[in-house]
Amino acid sequence: MGANPQQYYTENYGTLGKIYIELGFHNLYSSWWFIILIGLLALSLIAASIDRGIPLFKSLKNQRAKKHPSFYKRQRLNLHQGSSRNTADVVEGLKKKGYKVKEDDNHYLFEKGKLSRWGPYINYFGLILLLFGSMLRFFPGMYVDELIYITEGETVQVPETNGKYYVKNNKFTIDIYDEESGTVYDNTLENINETVVSNYQTDFSFYENENMDVVGSAPDLQKVEDYSVQVNHPYRFDLFEIYQASYDNSQMKSMTFQLEDNDDKPVGEPFTIELDNPHQNYEVVDGVNVNIRAYAPDFLEIDENGALISETPVATNPAFVFEIFDSESSELSLIQIMNSTDITENNKYNVKFVENKNHWATVLTLKKDLTMPLIATGFVIFLVGLFIGSYINHRRIWVNTDDGFSISAHTNKNYFGLKKDINPVLRESGYDEILDRDS
Amino acid sequence: MESTLLSISNWLITAAFFTLLISLIPLALSVKSNKKTAEFISIIMIIVAFIMEITYFLLRWTATGHAAVSNMYEFIATFSIMLILGYLITYHYYKTKILGLFVIPLALILIAYGSMFSTDVNPLIPALQSNWLAIHVITVTISYGILSMSAVAGLIYLLKAIPHDEKSWRARMLEVIMAGLVIVLVYIATTLIMKGAVDYSDEFMYTDQRGQTIVADYHLPSLINFEGAIAVEHLGNNEYEPADHFHSGINLPPVIQSQSLNTVIWSVMLGVIIYGILRLILRRRLSAIIKPLANKADLNLMDEIGYRSVIIGFPLFALGGIFFAAIWAQIAWSRFWGWDPKETWAFITFMFYTIFLHLRLNRGYEGEKSAWLAVIGFILILFNLIAINLIVAGLHSYA
């Protein structure tokens, strides 16, 4: 986080790093050539649909019932019987099985499940929409993915909303499963010997700024509602969603110290320093004062002038120079975490660390994805096409009585099922079972 | 009340395991002699076992309040149940007994493998607390169960179609699959022996990719370990002291689950050795030993089953493994697709079956070619189910 990838890769990997970054490998799925690949895939799907779809449409539309005897012989399923006496029974039987009949003199075409043939084209159409949707993401304004970091009690502006909305973190909670809750989990929790989180939750208040249009004015926040976001339960407003993403308790909120004399006896009351906004002076008991002479929230080093240098402005590793003075004397000491150094000699007092409190901050994800409806619709159409193409079988049966009784049949898949359609009808009409060339 | 339901549920899956095991006897008899009574008995037993397994699933669901698919044991058990479902559906249409002769042992191996993980019920972490857990995982396992039929049919096809003593690549590849099966069995056996019987336990403390301190309990000597791992001994009550355990010195970053990888490496080594010993004793390829089981199969029927189960399983996989998965990922992780290892592998599986169907429909990949692809598809599914969950640390590493 924070580092500029352009700089990072160039500095660490030289020319190779520069090429790597120019080609977008550090962020592969958003790189320009990945988008080009998606576009090419979409184009080839369109081409394939036209190339195959139109001839298929034509051939399925103008089907004729009359077929040459050699056509009958070519089919995997066919049968020839001497007598055509029972043809009417076969026609009725197949009709009852849901076949549509086309008649031409003494030739018949029975057909069902033609929709199956359109499955792949519906499917491709859905895919094209999906690919188009995923390319849309790279247009500005279509996609927002931001983290919102809010310390407990703090109110922050919701980014990407032009200052229209504010959110206040009232409380962040982590719940864990209780080992003695009397549920079936008690044993498991005891066995695994570590805590299992049951809930991450931020209770927040959502505000709208009524003064948004007045340039330069202070925000006038009107509460929209209180809401609790949990994992799996995002908050929705306008076209945005707010998700519980993470939390942070690494920042210190306050530190409490106790002044002691050289015999480790406490002097006065403990005092607490609010690290975000420390007071200058703390009077521990009548006449004895502690002054903060220097403070670094994230201590790095002491410079030549004796000032404390802070690495960041965030209170993660605080250090202080305290001046302790009473009516008689004044002394200085440097206090860091786990370490204290006397600056003046023969100090009378020690500053002892008592406890610290940390800030609890919640980390929320702000998300807007206008491409999602298109991608979801595309995928739903894709699935519909897939199910139609896979679960429906296109079955065609040809019958004629030119010379006795001839029958042949074709399907795009599942000949087994087709035979199960035909054979009972043939049997009931007094004919033999249809012959399968492949078995 | 709940714990009673759990006990009944656990008893049921054990009973189902043995029912399935015994059902193999009448099934094998019916394949050998075509006896209708034997076939009837075996199918009834399989149906009874399946009902017991479904009851196990529902009782466990009732007892815990969430679908029994939330950890490795539950997931693998469900996969095994769906294999039986897949077989019963196939049997309903095609009345094939030989397929069962292969599917049932596979389902049994899976249950045995699943029970190597903790069989305890566990509470759901926040990300899993959603109705989509049941919807997504159950659809995926059903699709896996059906897709697996294609692989089993493919394997039977290959066993019958390929002469076992042929000096060819296809015969050698088939033998590699047999060796793979031996490795899987050795994997299960070693873990059962070392963890259960020998109680071998070397503990190592390391820091995982999220910065948490974790103790890994090695049940096999450590050939490969986590970066910065320290050998420790558990003193009880969350206290550890440094100890001296065997370690080869090879360490990997914590995104790789070295502990699982260690078991895999041991299994491959031991599996290859045991395979070698078997070859020495039998003096034949293992495929030659199993081949007689497949010899009665109807190749056309196997090809038909291989194709039909992909046609039926693949749309279900797209629905459950991609679409439902994406909806849930959007709700739980705020993005519908994020190239997490499991997501990437689901995509690979999806693309593989897409290619399978295109090759079959446009290029006439039928018979043996189709059978090979079906077997490879199953290996991809197993890899996703096992290796991605266990070896690569991602959002789906729940076990």
Q: What single string gives the DSSP state of each residue in B57-70?
A: HHHHHHHHSS-S-S
Are B314 and A380 inside 8 Å of each other by CB? no
The alpha-carbon gap from B299 to the nearest alpha carbon of chain A, in Å, equals: 9
Q: B301-314 pLDDT, tens per residue?
A: 999 999 999 999 99
Q: Does residue B223 belong to any structural domain of this protein?
A: yes
| Mean pLDDT of all residues in B327-351 | 92
Q: Does residue B328 belong to any structural domain of this protein?
A: no
Q: Are residues B111 and B144 in the same domain?
A: yes
| Mean pLDDT of all residues in B116-124 | 87
Are B334 and A197 inside 8 Å of each other by CB? no
Sheet (strand A165-176) strand order = A155-157, A165-176, A197-209, A221-230
Reported as a pLDDT band with limits 50, 70 and 90, residue B399 is very low
- Of B391, B350, B124, give the one whose Cα is nearest residue B265: B391
**pLDDT attached to residue B10:** 93
Q: Are residues B38 and B135 in the same domain?
A: yes
- Of B84, B142, B155, B150, give the one whose Cα is nearest residue B317: B142
B237 or A252, greater pLDDT: A252
Q: Which of B5, B122, B132 to substitute to test the interface with A, most A CBs within 10 Å?
A: B122
Q: Does residue B56 belong to any structural domain of this protein?
A: yes
- Indicate if the pLDDT at residue B26 is higher than 70: yes
Q: Does residue B27 belong to any structural domain of this protein?
A: yes
**pLDDT attached to residue A304:** 81
Eight-class DSSP state of A76: S
Per the structure, the count of domains in chain B is 2
Contacts within 8 Å (CB) and 24+ apart, A225-231: A226/A170, A227/A203, A228/A201, A228/A202, A228/A203, A228/A204, A229/A201, A229/A202, A229/A204, A229/A364, A230/A199, A230/A200, A230/A201, A230/B126, A231/A199, A231/A200, A231/B126, A231/B127, A231/B129, A231/B332
| Mean pLDDT of all residues in B130-153 | 96
A405: which 2 tokens? 């009784």
- Of A377, A299, A401, give the one whose Cα is nearest residue A340: A299
The alpha-carbon gap from A355 to the nearest alpha carbon of chain B, in Å, equals: 24
pLDDT > 70 fraction of chain B, expressed in percent and rounded: 97
Q: Are residues B151 and B247 in the same domain?
A: no
Choose the closest CB to A196 out of B63, B125, B311.
B125
Are A231 and B339 inside 8 Å of each other by CB? no
**pLDDT attached to residue A3:** 66
CA angle B238, A361, B333 (to 5 degrees): 80
Residue with tokens 């942070």: A248
Can you give the residue range of the structural domain that contains B290? Answer: 2-162+286-313+356-390
CB B102 within 8 A of CB B152: yes
**pLDDT attached to residue A76:** 92
A351 or B196, greater pLDDT: A351
Q: B92-115 pLDDT, tens per residue?
A: 999 999 999 999 999 999 998 888
- From chain A, the residues in CB contact with B6 under 8 A are 184
Q: Are residues B293 and B152 in the same domain?
A: yes
Are B314 and A386 inside 8 Å of each other by CB? yes
Classify the C-alpha dihedral B211-B213-B218-B223 as positive or negative. positive
Among the three residues B284, B300, B324, which one is the final residue of a domain in this structure? B284
Mean pLDDT: which of B146-155, B188-197, B211-220, B386-395 is highest? B146-155
The CA-to-CA distance between both ends of chain A, in Å, stands at 65
- From chain B, the residues in CB contact with A184 under 8 A are 2-3, 6, 63-64, 121
Q: Are residues B153 and B300 in the same domain?
A: yes
CB B321 within 8 A of CB B349: yes
**pLDDT attached to residue B46:** 97
Are B312 and A375 inside 8 Å of each other by CB? no
- From chain A, the residues in CB contact with B60 under 8 A are none
Contacts within 8 Å (CB) and 24+ apart, B53-58: B53/B12, B53/B13, B53/B16, B53/B77, B53/B80, B53/B81, B53/B84, B54/B81, B55/B9, B55/B12, B56/B9, B56/B10, B56/B12, B56/B13, B56/B16, B57/B9, B57/B81
Q: Does residue B121 belong to any structural domain of this protein?
A: yes
CB B211 within 8 A of CB B254: no
Q: Are residues B153 and B295 in the same domain?
A: yes
- Length of chain A, in residues: 439
Eight-class DSSP state of A214: S
H or E segment and range at residue A73 = helix A69-74
C-alpha to C-alpha distance for B300 and A75, rounded to whole angstroms: 17
Note down pLDDT in tens along chain A; length 439 residues: 456 777 888 787 888 888 888 887 777 777 788 888 999 999 999 998 999 899 999 988 888 888 999 999 999 999 998 888 888 899 999 999 999 999 988 899 999 999 999 999 999 999 999 999 988 887 888 999 999 999 999 999 999 988 899 999 999 999 999 888 888 888 888 877 778 899 999 999 999 998 887 777 788 899 999 999 999 999 999 999 999 999 998 888 899 999 888 888 888 889 899 988 888 888 888 888 899 988 998 888 888 877 888 888 888 888 988 888 888 888 888 888 878 888 888 888 888 888 888 889 999 999 999 999 999 999 999 999 999 999 999 999 999 988 889 999 999 888 888 999 999 999 998 899 999 887 6
Q: Does residue B30 belong to any structural domain of this protein?
A: yes
Q: B28-86 pLDDT, tens per residue?
A: 999 888 888 999 999 999 999 999 999 999 999 999 999 999 988 999 999 999 999 99
C-alpha to C-alpha distance for A180 and B55, rounded to whole angstroms: 28
Are B118 and A184 inside 8 Å of each other by CB? no
Average pLDDT, chain B: 90
The alpha-carbon gap from B283 to the nearest alpha carbon of chain A, in Å, equals: 36
Q: Are residues B64 and B179 in the same domain?
A: no
SS3 content of chain B, % helix, strand, coil (to 5): 70, 10, 20
Q: Are residues B146 and B196 in the same domain?
A: no
Classify the C-alpha dihedral B129-B134-B139-B145 as positive or negative. positive
Q: Are residues B299 and B171 in the same domain?
A: no
| Mean pLDDT of all residues in B151-163 | 94
- Distance from chain centroid for Cα A417: 42
Q: What is the ipTM of this complex?
A: 0.88
| Per-position DSSP letters for A107-171, written without gaps between them | EEEEEE-GGGGGHHHHHHHHHHHHHHHHHHTTSTTSEEEEEEEEETT-EEEPTTTTT-EEEEEEE
The CA-to-CA distance between both ends of chain B, in Å, stands at 27
- Distance from chain centroid for Cα A384: 23
Q: Which amino acid is at B330?
A: Q
Q: Does residue B334 belong to any structural domain of this protein?
A: no
Choose the closest CB to B126 out of A188, A200, A372.
A200
Query: What is the residue extent of each domain of chain A?
Result: 74-113+393-436, 143-248, 253-356
Q: Are residues B236 and B296 in the same domain?
A: no
The alpha-carbon gap from A30 to the nearest alpha carbon of chain B, in Å, equals: 12
What's the CATH class of domain A74-113+393-436?
Answer: alpha beta
Whether the predicted model's global pTM rises above the 0.90 cut: no
CB proximity list for A270: less than 8 A, separation 6 or greater: A256, A257, A258, A354
**pLDDT attached to residue A1:** 44
Q: Which residues of B48-74 are buried (b: 16+ CB within 10 A; e: fewer)?
A: ebbebbeebbebbbebbebbbbbbbbb
Residue A358: CB atoms within 10 A of its CB come to: 15
Q: Are residues B116 and B258 in the same domain?
A: no
Are A245 and B318 inside 8 Å of each other by CB? no
CB B278 within 8 A of CB B182: yes
Are B123 and A188 inside 8 Å of each other by CB? yes
B299 or A304, greater pLDDT: B299
Residue A235: CB atoms within 10 A of its CB come to: 20
Q: Are residues B235 and B274 in the same domain?
A: yes
Residue A61: CB atoms within 10 A of its CB come to: 8
Identify the three-state secondary structure at position A104.
strand
Are A379 and B314 inside 8 Å of each other by CB? no
Please state whether beta strands B222-226 and B247-252 pair in parallel, antiparallel, or not at all (unpaired): parallel
Quick one: residue A122, left, alpha or beta (phi over 0 = left, psi -120 to 50 = alpha)?
A: alpha
Q: Does residue B396 belong to any structural domain of this protein?
A: no
